[in-house]
Amino acid sequence: MPEKTIDRRTLLASLATSAAGVALSQHSSAGTRVAADSHGIKNWDIITDVLVAGSGAAGISAAIDARRGGADVLVVEKLNKLGGSSALSGGVIYAGGGTALQKALGFTDSVESMYHYIAHSGRKHPHLDKIQRYCEQSVAHFDWLVDNGVPYNKLFSDGKGLGFDEASLYYSGSEEAWPWRDECRPAPRGHVPWEKGHQGGKRLMRSLLASAKKLGVKTQKRVSGERLVVESDGRVTGMLVDIRGERMAIKAKRGIVLACGGFIHNREMVKLYAPELYDCSVPWANAGDLGIGIQMGMGAGAGALRMDQGFAIGPIYPPENTIAGIAVNQMGQRLTSEEGYHAVMGNVVTYKQDGIAYFICDKDSDRPQGDDNQPLVAKANTIKELEQKAGFPVGSLQMSVNYYNEHAKNGEDPMFHKSKKYLSPIDKPPFKVYDLSVDKTMYSSHTFGGLHTNVDSQVINVWGEVINGLYAAGRNTSGLPTSPYIASGISVGDCTFFGRQAGQHAAANKS
């Protein structure tokens, strides 16, 4: 007997119909939020042109450009505070190709070098079309940030990592580390809003929120998007929201932008989709990072990509003296170049070593006294004794340290080509082992997986087609950040840039 087939529209329509009338709270916290059928909506409580869910960098950038595109824009935010994880962040934006700030500080850069660095940094099959558009428009995007009031200081920092100083430009990735320094011309691309002491995200969001307000974007706090509303042809035209316990329906005539962030605080989702991140000790995001935007999109048929990938770091520097130490696995074998960007080592530890790793140092490369982020495992006067005390297989750590020292004394690192300035033999007692494992050290993580979108930030369904009326950006989507994450600033850069694409295209969607 031939099998009965069901086409996708019928399937979507039947999913929507069966969901109509289901209470908002009836879903598992890791499940999808099946879209509601528009026929079940008797009255729209609010009508706008463009509705944005989420008030972080992606949502507010979308709102600004949608408003500039002539649309009435309403932003709803689940929490009592606007700004999302973006406001908690360092605010670093990865920009290049010759931005006004790079030029003012005397650095030359090209779109090609920037593209090459992002596209070919050890990641498997990244979204090349998105990377290309991002790099080609990076100079203009930086100007857009400045035009929206984000201040940058004409000061460069040559320190490794985001400093507590007032510099607005630094090398935020592994550009100067091997193999990248040989493959594409390095340039500093970490652009930090001018605010002292890791407060760049606060500064970024203060400026963008002020700009949105000036343009007439409306914002509503403590309003949680719960489910999308779809027409029988699959078009998304509205959203059911929870306003302080009351359910309301919002119609969006031109489009809806999902910008609700990732899902690191939805532990069931993390266990299901990104198990490697589950044991990382510090879920790093604001409290709204619950995956609701991803669930809403999936409930309207959207595909979700790279859900297992994420940012995961247990930094060994600053200070820079520690870079002369080595990171090893439980077999005492060295893992990677210690001078690379934190998330490159984090990726090796989290995804390739079952989350287990150790840091080996001597007196000169020791961690700062009083910094207990990484627990001390063992201390000894010889490497042999250290190996025994820490429980490495007999001879393994001695072999790794001897090999490393033999070449380091000549300024060489045949294995990972660590820069000369970070190479010195590990030969001054006391020797120490610190735990770098994801569940033992302070290990920050957040998610990269999310809805499938195209370069215009339109959401793509599981059949590979655009879902009319639905847009998404930021960590609600699978965008530029993938594992390994190769530079600070790629996430907020992606959020602001593809948020803008979403806003522009939603505003222009008058079909």
Ligand X SMILES: Cc1cc2nc3c(=O)[nH]c(=O)nc-3n(C[C@H](O)[C@H](O)[C@H](O)COP(=O)(O)OP(=O)(O)OC[C@H]3O[C@@H](n4cnc5c(N)ncnc54)[C@H](O)[C@@H]3O)c2cc1C
Q: Nearest distance from residue 264's CB to ligand X, in Å?
A: 9
Q: Nearest distance from residue 136's CB to ligand X, in Å?
A: 19
Residue pair 344/179 in contact (Cβ under 8 Å)? The answer is no
Q: How many CB atoms lie within 10 A of CB 370?
A: 5
Q: 340 or 489, CB closer to ligand X?
A: 489
Residue pair 160/419 in contact (Cβ under 8 Å)? The answer is no
| Residue owning tokens 């770098």 | 436
Q: Nearest distance from residue 143's CB to ligand X, in Å?
A: 19
Q: 76 or 426, CB closer to ligand X?
A: 76
Q: 60 or 378, CB closer to ligand X?
A: 60
Q: 90 or 126, CB closer to ligand X?
A: 90
The DSSP code for 317 is -
Q: Nearest distance from residue 482's CB to ligand X, in Å?
A: 13
Q: Nearest distance from residue 9's CB to ligand X, in Å?
A: 26
- Measured CA to CA, the distance from residue 413 to residue 407 in angstroms comes to 6
Q: 35 or 490, CB closer to ligand X?
A: 490
Q: Nearest distance from residue 13's CB to ligand X, in Å?
A: 24
DSSP per position, 372-404 = -SS-EEEEESSHHHHHHHHTPPTTHHHHHHHHH
Q: 59 or 126, CB closer to ligand X?
A: 59
Q: 139 or 490, CB closer to ligand X?
A: 490
Q: 150 or 495, CB closer to ligand X?
A: 495
Residue pair 33/16 in contact (Cβ under 8 Å)? The answer is no
Write out the residues near ligand X by the rule CB under 6 A: 53-59, 76-79, 84-86, 88-92, 224-225, 259-261, 284-286, 288-290, 292-293, 446, 474-476, 488-492, 495
The encoded tokens of residue 195 equal: 């605010």
Q: 35 or 335, CB closer to ligand X?
A: 35
- Spatial neighbors of 371 by CB under 8 A, at least 6 apart, are none
Q: Nearest distance from residue 221's CB to ligand X, in Å?
A: 9
Residue pair 344/389 in contact (Cβ under 8 Å)? The answer is no
Q: Nearest distance from residue 333's CB to ligand X, in Å?
A: 31
Q: Number of C-alpha atoms within 13 angstroms, CB side, residue 483?
A: 25
Q: How many CB atoms lie within 10 A of CB 419?
A: 15
Q: Nearest distance from residue 411's CB to ligand X, in Å?
A: 33
Going 115 to 120 to 125 to 126, the CA torsion angle's sign is negative
Give the E-state strand segments of 14-156 in sequence order: 36-37, 46-53, 73-76, 93-94
CA-based nearest residue to 204, from 258, 257, 144, 252: 144
Q: 302-327: buried (b, 16+ CB within 10 Å) or exposed (e) per residue?
A: bbbbbbbbbbbbbbbbeeebbbbbbb
Residue pair 489/95 in contact (Cβ under 8 Å)? The answer is yes
The encoded tokens of residue 339 equal: 């001078």
Backbone angles phi, psi at 211, to 5 degrees: -65, -45
Q: 131-145: buried (b, 16+ CB within 10 Å) or exposed (e) per residue?
A: bebbbebbbebbebb
Q: 313 or 357, CB closer to ligand X?
A: 313
Q: Nearest distance from residue 296's CB to ligand X, in Å?
A: 7
Q: Nearest distance from residue 395's CB to ligand X, in Å?
A: 41
Q: Nearest distance from residue 81's CB to ligand X, in Å?
A: 8
Residue pair 500/354 in contact (Cβ under 8 Å)? The answer is no
The encoded tokens of residue 499 equal: 């948020």
Q: 102 or 400, CB closer to ligand X?
A: 102
3-state secondary structure of 145: helix
Q: 289 or 366, CB closer to ligand X?
A: 289
Residue pair 426/326 in contact (Cβ under 8 Å)? The answer is yes
